[in-house]
Structure 1
């Protein structure tokens, strides 16, 4: 339980690559896509073109597997000058469907950490991406009952955390955000006035890379979620 001196009453958690594996499935599918298109260009060039399409399409499709799948289709059409066989398009769509039904693999220390925090703090899941896919993964993870609130958003920025921590908690000043993305989870949460605890993951999409706010008083980093309880004890 938080000590009487602690003003921290709520903790937000990112989902993908913080609570469960996610990016590894994108990487595996990307390699499957590159293998399919290998005769149409250099592997690095195919990867670069796909990454460009993803970034270009974020404002149209948002984050998630469906947008990624559409970006693969678009890239395949561009690389082949529109001559991509229908069988190859079908294989790309099948790869996207495979991602949407892949079993959820929770990361180490997740369940026990959440179980120890539940009841002591208001726990809020804050994740971005496709609504149906995020709801599916949360249900499959078996972690849903440990959260007091769930917010699935189209993007994460300073106003996102101000709104969520005001709606479900005592405001950003009394809240903490925990996640693997400096760009989406940590920097905007700190800008909103909350604590930001960075939990690195071996695989993080290049779009999410920014410099760590090491000079910010409310920035912390832990190697894995199993260290979060010790960090909270120090803050108390």
Structure 2
């Protein structure tokens, strides 16, 4: 009998390695730089508005975040922001682009175990150069059969990727920490969608979990996902 599951997609940021915590640290630094102009909670709301507005222009990732911070600083200071503050914002972004990779618990073991029995595809959003750097530093790259760095994650994205690198979405699984980007669009095209929550998730990635979907699962960590895959194989 053919395996019911042949291809597994992994998200990268905050699924395999830490990411959002560095954005939060930079946002705190940003608030300190502009403390004399605006309260932190108001600044955060304005920055989030700018990020949402700019996604179509800059896409996901650190560079778009840097530009949104600069834009927000100009707006909240009514164009009076000192050049020294702009320089600090750029320096903070550059530090994020060179930050070392910290794998999440069970990430290496899970990827290694599943690579022995399934095709693995890394499916991630963000800046091309930065995502390539993080994958290279992670030490996980050789375990993936394919890497897809995409501008966004929609149902059509998963349909195309699982057709290109596997046996179609119905025999695929997507694993990630974003309900909105990793789970729901994968379920929409017939794949399994596995939610592995992270303690920190960007507000623009929040969404409600599906109710009673037969191919939806939530697991606390990637080690438990390996057990889930074995269960699916046994039932199939």
TM bracket, shorter-chain basis? over 0.9
Q: What is the alpha-carbon root mean square deviation over aligned residues?
A: 0.8
For the 8 Å contact 1:6–1:235, the answer to whether it is kept is: no
Q: Using the alignment, how far apart are the partners of 1:55 and 1:229 within structure 2?
A: 35
2:175 to 155, 165, 178: 178
1:94 to 91, 95, 102: 91
TM-score (norm 1): 0.97
Find the counterpart in structure 2 of residue 163 from structure 1. 160
2:131 to 111, 129, 134: 134
CA deviation profile, 1:83-133 (whole Å, cap 9, x unmatched)? 111111100000000000000101000101111111300000000010000
Find the counterpart in structure 1 of residue 32 from structure 2. 35
Residue aligned with 1:18, SS: coil
Find the counterpart in structure 2 of residue 104 from structure 1. 101
Find the counterpart in structure 2 of residue 195 from structure 1. 192
Query: Is there any run of 5+ residues in structure 1 with no aligned partner, and where?
Result: none
Find the counterpart in structure 1 of residue 141 from structure 2. 144
Q: Using the alignment, how far apart are the partners of 2:211 and 2:230 within structure 1?
A: 21
Residue aligned with 2:148, SS: strand
2:55 to 54, 58, 74: 58
Q: Using the alignment, how far apart are the partners of 1:11 and 1:214 within structure 2?
A: 23
Shift, 1:10, TM fit: 0.5
Q: Using the alignment, how far apart are the partners of 2:230 and 2:128 within structure 1?
A: 34
Shift, 1:5, TM fit: 5.7
Shift, 1:26, TM fit: 0.3
Aligned residues: 233
Residue aligned with 2:200, SS: coil
Runs of 4+ in 1 over 6 A off after TM superposition: none
Query: Is there any run of 5+ residues in structure 2 with no aligned partner, and where?
Result: none
2:77 to 76, 80, 86: 80
CA deviation profile, 1:140-177 (whole Å, cap 9, x unmatched)? 10100000000000000000000000000000000000
For the 8 Å contact 2:4–2:232, the answer to whether it is kept is: no
For the 8 Å contact 1:10–1:121, the answer to whether it is kept is: yes
* 1:14-33 alignment, distance < 5 Å: 14-33=11-30
Shift, 1:189, TM fit: 0.3
Shift, 1:6, TM fit: 3.1
TM-score (norm 2): 0.97
1:120 paired with 2:117, answer: yes
Q: Using the alignment, how far apart are the partners of 1:111 and 1:214 within structure 2?
A: 31
Q: Using the alignment, how far apart are the partners of 1:137 and 1:121 within structure 2?
A: 23
Shift, 1:196, TM fit: 0.3
